[in-house]
Amino acid sequence: MVALESPTLLHEVRALKESLRGIVSSLDADAVFVFDAPAVWKEFDEIGRLTSAASTLLARRVDESCTWRSEGYRSAAEQLAAVSGTSVSSARSMLETSRRVADQPKTQRALRAGELSPAKVEVVAAAIEVAPESADQLLELAATAPLAKVKEEGLRAKASVGADENHARIHRERSARHYADAGNAWHFHATGTVDDGLRFVKVFEPIVDTFFKAAYKEGREEAAEAYAFDAFIELARRAAGEGAGATTKSGKTPQLLGLVRVDHEALVRGQVDGDEVCEIAGLGPIPVRVARELLGEAVVKLVLTKGVDVANVTHLGRGPTVAQKTAMWWQVPQCTEIDCTRVQRIEFDHREEWRTTHHTRLDEGDGLCGHHHDLKTRFGWALVEGGGKRPMVPPDDPRHPKNKPK
């Protein structure tokens, strides 16, 4: 790579900025042919990635310049935030990513090529710092996969390098913050270990369902996130002794089933080895000692490989039995669509309508989130033939089951 002298580079960047400013100032979005709009947007998005890549590469040098001191800022992050109009936490994340990328040649190459969005490079660089051997796999995935999938694999890469150390690190870095934005909307953000998350979800999700069912009975329809917020505030009200304290008919607080996936050998040994698994299904890896603690309090349902094959048992009801649900969550704890990482409110969907078969078998259905279930039932989309995680395609796609040659 040819190094440019700073004055030359600064001149070229300023010239590029003025050229781009001219294009944007004269841009009439309504004059763009509507079917060209996606392609034009894509080009601008790539330009944005490239400029963001340059900003990320330079951020650590801004810190090293120490101009933030002379300009009265408390840190380089505060200076960057003031100039870019972002939050200090966002600027701090960019600085951390800039320092990490400086020691990651492969990540740098992908960044310079415009293959990574700011969000993806932050996730990938952080994971590669902990698990360098995962670089090739993560960078290949990040080039095409959705951000949620990249985050999931980044977490797995970190967890693979000593589950106990990773769990301890997350606990040390645990945080919760709340603030009001410029529009006076209140925000709350929390980060912690997945087992703490399970403890929260165990009491949180039943309250979400309570709000959803109440709205359904009243004929109201809102986003699931709206009910989740109401449930969050309800938790605070209950803590203050003000909440409704929804209970079941038995008077007990509803409970959420949390499925711990752990290989028997790892559970006995006390740590995972090789490809062994120890995780909370749908949430992420945990140390074996944490699994032991959770199992000490859990109602455990075992899906045996001998005896009744739960995955293929036939149930005459419309919905799956509890045992079948457990088997489904064990096999594919997420929505079955290949790029979807949703783990909440997964519905069992019959590939062939129940009114035709009048039975429920796991090998004849898939778990789908609400969005992909709607795509199938309302718009004719379908998963391609096969099993496990796979693409969902529209009716005109040649891979759609109805387009299979007869």
User: Which pLDDT score is estimated for 48?
Assistant: 92
Q: Which of 11, 22, 281, 247 is nearest to 152 (CA)?
A: 281
Contact status, residue 57 vs residue 101, Cβ threshold 8 Å? yes
For 244-280, b/e burial (b = at least 16 CB within 10 A) is eebeeeeeeeeeeebbbbbbeebbeeeebeeeeebbb
- Lowest mean pLDDT segment, chosen from 58-72, 179-193, 376-390: 179-193
Residue 74, CA atoms < 13 Å, CB-side half-sphere: 5
Task: Say which residues have a Cβ less than 8 Å from residue 108's Cβ, sequence separation at least 6.
Answer: 57, 101, 102
d(CA 271, CA 253): 33
In tens, the pLDDT along 264-287 reads 778 788 888 877 778 776 667 778
- Averaged pLDDT, 295-312: 46
- Matching residue, tokens 């795509």: 375
* SS3 label, residue 208: helix
User: Which pLDDT score is estimated for 311?
Assistant: 45
Q: Which of 114, 71, 119, 112 is nearest to 93 (CA)?
A: 119
Across all residues in the chain, what is the average pLDDT? 81
pLDDT at 72 over 80: no
* SS3 label, residue 179: strand
pTM equals 0.56
- Lowest mean pLDDT segment, chosen from 181-185, 285-289, 306-310, 313-317: 306-310
In tens, the pLDDT along 136-184 reads 999 999 998 889 889 888 888 887 777 788 888 889 989 998 877 777 6
Dihedral Cα 178, 203, 201, 159, nearest 10 deg? 100
pLDDT at 355 over 70: no
- Averaged pLDDT, 77-102: 91
User: Which pLDDT score is estimated for 343?
Assistant: 72
Tokens of residue 290, six digits: 């944490």
Contact status, residue 288 vs residue 262, Cβ threshold 8 Å? yes
For residue 71, the tally of other CB atoms under 10 A from its CB is: 11
User: Which pLDDT score is estimated for 273?
Assistant: 82
Comparison of pLDDT for 22 and 6, the residue scoring more: 22
Comparison of pLDDT for 319 and 205, the residue scoring more: 205
- Averaged pLDDT, 311-336: 59
Q: How confident is the model at residue 354 (pLDDT cuts 50, 70, 90)?
A: low
pLDDT at 247 over 90: no
pLDDT at 24 over 60: yes
Highest mean pLDDT among 183-187, 233-237, 331-335: 233-237
Give the distance between the most distant pair of CA atoms in the chain: 76
* SS3 label, residue 72: coil
d(CA 189, CA 183): 17
User: Which pLDDT score is estimated for 62?
Assistant: 92
Q: Which of 104, 241, 84, 93 is nearest to 175 (CA)?
A: 93
- Averaged pLDDT, 4-29: 86
Radius of gyration of the chain (CA): 25
Contact status, residue 290 vs residue 298, Cβ threshold 8 Å? no
Share of the chain above pLDDT 70, in %: 79
- Averaged pLDDT, 202-211: 90
pLDDT at 228 over 80: yes
- Lowest mean pLDDT segment, chosen from 19-28, 114-123, 193-202: 193-202
* SS3 label, residue 300: coil
Comparison of pLDDT for 3 and 83, the residue scoring more: 83
Q: How confident is the model at residue 254 (pLDDT cuts 50, 70, 90)?
A: very low
- Matching residue, tokens 């309570």: 210
Q: How confident is the model at residue 331 (pLDDT cuts 50, 70, 90)?
A: low
Q: Which of 253, 255, 254, 275 is nearest to 265 (CA)?
A: 275
d(CA 280, CA 181): 34
User: Which pLDDT score is estimated for 45?
Assistant: 92
Q: Residue 189: beta bridge partners?
A: 177
Tokens of residue 158, six digits: 């970190």
Q: How confident is the model at residue 230 (pLDDT cuts 50, 70, 90)?
A: very high
- Lowest mean pLDDT segment, chosen from 34-43, 48-57, 203-212, 332-341: 332-341
User: Which pLDDT score is estimated for 348?
Assistant: 74
For 80-89, b/e burial (b = at least 16 CB within 10 A) is bbeeeeeebe
* SS3 label, residue 11: helix
Highest mean pLDDT among 243-257, 293-307, 381-395: 381-395
d(CA 147, CA 253): 35
